[in-house]
Amino acid sequence: VALGTNDAKTRLADVRDQLVNRYKVIVLDLVRLEPRLQAIFLCAPVPILRSGGDFDADSLRFVNDGAMSDYVEEVVAWARTGLAIHVGFIDHAAAMWDAVTDSGDPIDDFYKDVIHPDARGARVLGLSAAAALDAWYANTPPREPADWGWPSCAAPAGTRSFRLESEDEKPATNCVFDGQIVEDGVDYNQESNAAGSLSYRNVGEFGVVQVTDGLRALFYVDYCSTPCVTESFRLESYLDPPLPRPRVSIYVPGRIESARVGRRRGSTVETVVDVDESSDPDTSTDNWGYYEDSWLWAQGGLRADFEVTYCMTDLDPACTTTQVEIESASFQYASMAFPEPITRARIFSVESTTVLYPLPPIDFVVTPSTPVDATTNWGISESDLWIDKGLAAKVYVTHCPPSPTAKPTLAPTDATDAPTNAPTDTPTDTPTDTPTD
């Protein structure tokens, strides 16, 4: 899997906080869709030759100085602790720089444009990938198809029951499904003579049940589905001065399921009232929609509040999202405390007219890792929402319990290590000579 270069375009600041979570979802989807998968290799993207078009100086620094590679390696480390298959890392960036150094030729000789290698560059990447595959194969030869056993979940996604089967001396068999397993949420009816072993855990928003060493059983699992919510998002596009913004967009912190116009705020009429599938604003004939699952957009002078239903793929089901109004009166610092740690906040609408400092864009989303400088006029800190420099706004704040249930449990509990049919060694009650009343 080699992803990431297009996420380094000029909207980099909008997607950087989501890169790791989105990559994790892709990895888990691959495991769920192909239960016989034996290995996944994640690749660091090749260098970008120069800025231009959709790639600016920040894009070059992010990819060429190693930050993007660090993100990929973070996903690799996470996957290695939570998945039963081999997860490898292929550093295409380092391979390309090494090839340039060894040849003495300019790096342009390995590319057909600023991001795509030509035949010579592709050979470098192929040899890099082959070396990683050879090293894996030498230590763990891939299983033959006859060894794969019964493939993963026999029941459709979203059910609470499924059957898993493994063979003696064979590798683990997994069931990966949408939702987080609740505490003590796994029960089963054993169907094999072999005791085998069982483990289960949560990896992000997914639950994983695994059997090995001949265990075959029908499982019953209690789990919490990924939470979906409906919230309002305001977009205002303008065709005329003093605010010419023919197209505007906003990042929705989750996967959009559907959207509709809730309240029109201008004279331009929406071309469609509700949508439930993605559309590209560059080719769409409508004046609003959503793109790539998480970008709500409006154009052509449409101004409206949109009711959007989306699933928060990276949040705990126990999290709460609240809309509040906060104001920096007389340009003074102000804050608002919440009962739980804040994971993200976004401005729904700006209610002030101050121009002392640039107003934040309405689509600005902050997380605990968002940088703050001398000109920043709002943000979050631990369990506080703060605002400054004359800004007043309506803000959506998402806050979660201190110990989220979505935190991965990377090791099975003692109770789940292995099933047993053996009775306990001692009785649970002690006989007594004294009768009860």
- For residue range 292-312, list pLDDT tens digits in order: 777 889 999 999 999 998 876
Which of these ranges, 153-167, 287-301, 349-363, 412-426, has the smallest mean pLDDT? 412-426
Place of tokens 């689509």: 363
Q: List, as one string, the DSSP characters of 222-276.
A: EEEPPPEEEEEEEEE-BSSTTS-BSEEEEE-SSEEEEEEEEEE-SSSPPS-SEE-
Work out the percent of the chain whose per-residue pLDDT is above 70: 72
pLDDT given at position 419: 45
Work out the percent of the chain whose per-residue pLDDT is above 90: 14
185-195 per-position pLDDT tens digit: 788 888 888 88
pLDDT given at position 414: 41
Which of these ranges, 82-91, 160-169, 233-242, has the smallest mean pLDDT? 160-169
Q: For the packed helices 67-82 and 19-33, what is the interaxial angle rounded to 10 degrees?
A: 40
Which residues, in sequence order, are bridge partners of residue 230? Answer: 309
pLDDT given at position 408: 36
pLDDT given at position 42: 92
Spatial distance between the Cα atoms of 198 and 201, rounded to a whole number of angstroms: 11
* Residues present in the chain in total: 437
Between 175 and 397, the higher pLDDT residue:
397
pLDDT given at position 405: 37
Spatial distance between the Cα atoms of 420 and 197, rounded to a whole number of angstroms: 10
> Residue 415's pLDDT band (boundaries 50, 70, 90)?
very low
Q: Give the pLDDT mean for 66-90.
A: 83
**pLDDT(5) > 80:** no
Between 177 and 387, the higher pLDDT residue:
387
Across 107-116, 117-126, 146-155, 422-431, which has the greatest mean pLDDT? 117-126
**pLDDT(401) > 50:** yes
211-228 per-position pLDDT tens digit: 877 788 888 887 766 566
pLDDT given at position 410: 37
pLDDT averaged over every residue in the chain: 76
Give strand ranges (E) for 29-82.
39-44
pLDDT given at position 175: 76
Q: Give the pLDDT mean for 114-124.
A: 88
pLDDT given at position 17: 61
320-370 per-position pLDDT tens digit: 778 899 999 888 999 999 988 888 888 877 788 765 555 555 446 777 777
Which is nearest to 252 in space by CA: 295, 305, 314, 297? 295
Judged by DSSP in three states, 375 sits in: coil
pLDDT given at position 130: 92
pLDDT given at position 366: 77
**pLDDT(434) > 60:** no
From residue 96, give the alpha-carbon distance in Å to each of 3, 132, 134, 315, 408.
16, 15, 19, 37, 35
CB 175 within 8 A of CB 188: no
Q: Give the pLDDT mean for 46-61.
A: 76
**pLDDT(286) > 60:** yes
228-284 per-position pLDDT tens digit: 678 888 888 888 776 677 888 877 777 787 899 999 998 999 999 999 888 888 889
Between 286 and 183, the higher pLDDT residue:
286
pLDDT given at position 406: 35
